[in-house]
Amino acid sequence: MEDTLHSLMLGFSVALQPSNLWYAFLGCLVGTLVGVLPGIGPLSGISILLPITFGLNATQAVIMLAGIYYGSQYGGSTTSILMRIPGEASSVMTCIDGNAMAKKGRAGAALCIAAVGSWIAGTFGIIVLTIVAPPLATLALRFGPPEYTALLVLGLIFLAYMSSTSLVRTLLMACLGLFFGMIGIDNMTGHFRYSFDLPELGDGIGIVPVAVGLFGLGEILATPSKNVIGEVIRPKLRELLPSREEWRQSAWPIARGSVLGFLIGIIPGSAHIISSFLSYALEKKVSKHPEEFGKGAVAGVAGPESANNAASTGAFVPMLALGLPTGPITAVLIGALMVHGVNAGPQLITEHPDVFWGFVASMYVGNLMLLALNLPLVGIFVTVLRIPYAYLYPLIIMFCVIGVYEVSHSIVDVWIMLIMGMLGYALRKFGFDPAPLVLGLVIAPVFEQSLRQSLIMSNGNYMIFTQRPIAVMLLIVSAGLLLMSAISFALKRKDWRAKLAEVEAGEGSS
């Protein structure tokens, strides 16, 4: 412990050097912008700025690039709340209640809670990272294919709880997402599936064009038909601060989101996205007023926004301690370190203590900067709403197209985005929630691959899932949840039918 404190002091001495402070600030600022702009995710932001870092030293490079990553988790909430367009895939859940709060005139409060929640979760994540990085990284390594499969089964079952419409509709959307996720080269046999001879489809349908199309374009297409003429929210300055009641309601969700997010973050995968989904489901389950979710529940903003920040910090644990990327973003960061001759791995802490501890310390500083950056700017972001739709929406469509094209310079991606936009519009009109579709798409390739890898390992024997303690535990939790939902499903059968009828009548609520 004392060693840790000493090392951390060394880290702060590195992180507080003016040039390092500057790069941390730059990273956080770019991250916030990347987060605000739909379609441009942290991965493309980091990739675009990667060449610039070749002129810097390793510490500066990793401080700046990591700043973009966790900074984007702050900014992502802004457009979610104000425009119901997730700036980041991980802010999808914030759209639901954040935007509902904005419609009730609590846009400022929602933004404020998201920023403060992000700060608390981010700082919490770094404290845990500082203390327990090595033992936790070992746990993440024990997540082999069977554990993944079990985790994703659990994730899918959680998904069933998130339905703001009906259970059936949610599962239908999730299945559609899983189906889209099947498109592309089969990793196990090399066959092309549903790719219609388009090489671009060989890699499958990207998450970015689908998310931007469904949430960005679909929303914009749906807006004019909704008759929301001139309903621009003009929050007064004092409304920017959440009320005491709202603070009270967000305290526990922030705490739960921080812990949940961090734990999911250290597990490889699109952790920051999955964590926000799970946090939302969790908050809805533990809430005394689950009926408020979807209509502007404070917990529905505070939980997921905290979770995605904690997850982005958690993702650094296996990266720093073992040199193992948990996703494409940490993979790029490892690449950036390697260019500077620093090998992320078990020996990073001993061989390059200045890089490791400087980086850790810079995240404490960076999170403070982000809070300072985001809170005063909340007012500026709110004014975005005052721009008439006639100007704002074409601009957003432009950003959607450019952003999607920018990811892999593929015109096919732009077409996918446009088609998904039409689909998103249609789904909205018929009262389907597109969020489960995106989650299905995200987990489909991982789910399929880990299931098939597990079966390769066991030579086709499904009992492998019962032979691994972590997998068994996850599956038991899944079974329990399924059982509980089945019981309530059977008991409230009439209610559920009544609800479905309501949904079909266009008054969807859970």
Partner 1 sequence: MDRRHFVIGSAATAAALASKPSIAQDAYPSHAVTFINPFPPGGAADVVGRPLAAVLEPIIKQPCVIDTKAGAAGAVGGQVAASAKPDGYTLLIHITSISGFAEVDKLFGRQPKFTNADFIPIARLVADPCVLLVNDQQPYKSLKDLVEDAKKRPDDIIYSSSGLYGALHIPMALFAKAAGGLKFRHLPTNGGGPALTAILGNNSQVLVSSVSASLAQIKAGKLKPLALFGAQRSKALPDVPTMKESGYDVEYYLWVGVFAPKGTPDNVITYLRTAIDKAAHTDQFKGAMTNLGQELGYLDQADFKKFWDADTKHIEDAIRQIGRVDT
Given the rule CB under 8 A, which residues bind partner 1?
Answer: 46-47, 50-51, 54, 141-145, 185, 187-191, 199-200, 202-203, 268, 322-325, 328, 331-332, 334-336, 338-341, 343-348, 408-410, 449, 453, 456-457, 459
Reduce the DSSP state of residue 185 to 3 states and report it: strand
Nearest-approach distance from CB 401 to partner 1, in angstroms = 19
Residue 301 CA to residue 321 CA, distance in Å, equals: 31
Report the nearest approach of partner 1 to the CB of residue 263 (Å): 18
CB of 131 or CB of 188, closer to partner 1 = 188
CB of 346 to partner 1, least distance (A): 4
Please provide the DSSP assignment of 140-167 as one string. HHT--HHHHHHHHHHHHHHHHHT-SS-H
Cβ count near 19 (within 10 Å): 12
Cβ distance to partner 1 smaller for residue 46 or 167: 46
Residue with smaller CB distance to partner 1, 369 or 446: 446
How near is the Cβ of 198 to partner 1 at its closest, in Å?
11
Return the number of the residue (238 or 409) whose C-beta is nearest partner 1: 409
Residue whose CB is less far from partner 1, 227 or 350: 350
Rounded CA separation 314/317 (Å): 6
Judged by beta carbon, residue 57 or residue 223, the one nearer partner 1 is 57
| Cα dihedral 393→396→398→401 (10° resolution) | -130
CB of 439 to partner 1, least distance (A): 20
Which backbone phi and psi does 4 adopt, to 5 degrees? -60, -45
Separation between Cα atoms, residue 218 and residue 419, nearest integer Å: 10
Cβ at position 67, least distance to partner 1 in Å? 17
Q: For residues 206 and 407, give the distance between their C-alpha atoms in angstroms, rounded to a whole number.
A: 10
Give counts: helices (H), strands (E), the chain: 23, 2
Calpha distance 69→332 (Å, rounded):
11
For partner 1, give the closer residue by CB, 191 or 288: 191
CB of 470 to partner 1, least distance (A): 11
> Which of 344/439 has CB closer to partner 1?
344
Based on CB atoms, which residue is closest to partner 1, 304 or 327?
Answer: 327
Cα separation, 155 vs 233, whole angstroms = 36
Considering the complex, state which of residue 227 and residue 459 has its C-beta at the smaller distance from partner 1. Answer: 459
List CB contacts of 263: < 8 A, sequence separation 6 or more: 314
72: left (phi over 0), alpha (psi -120 to 50) or beta: alpha
Phi first, then psi, for residue 193 (nearest 5°) are: -120, 125
Rounded distance between C-alpha atoms, residue 212 and residue 39, angstroms: 6
Closest CA to 215 of 444, 378, 397, 34: 397
CA distance 279 to 301: 10
Q: Which is nearer to partner 1, 268 or 436 (CB)?
A: 268
Alpha helices in 223-315 (DSSP H): 244-265, 271-286, 299-314
| Choice between 10 and 185, CB closer to partner 1 | 185
Which of 339, 334, 310, 312 has the alpha carbon at shortest distance from 322? Answer: 334
Task: Report yes or no: 161 and 489 within 8 Å, Cβ to Cβ.
Answer: no
Shortest distance in whole angstroms from residue 135 CB to partner 1: 15
Distance of closest approach, residue 412 Cβ to partner 1, in angstroms:
10
Cα–Cα distance, 65 to 88 (Å, whole number): 17
- Minimal distance, residue 488 CB to partner 1, in Å: 37
Give the whole-angstrom CA distance, residue 510 versus residue 271. 27
CB 317, min distance to partner 1, A: 14
Q: How far is the CB of 190 from partner 1 (least distance, A)?
A: 5
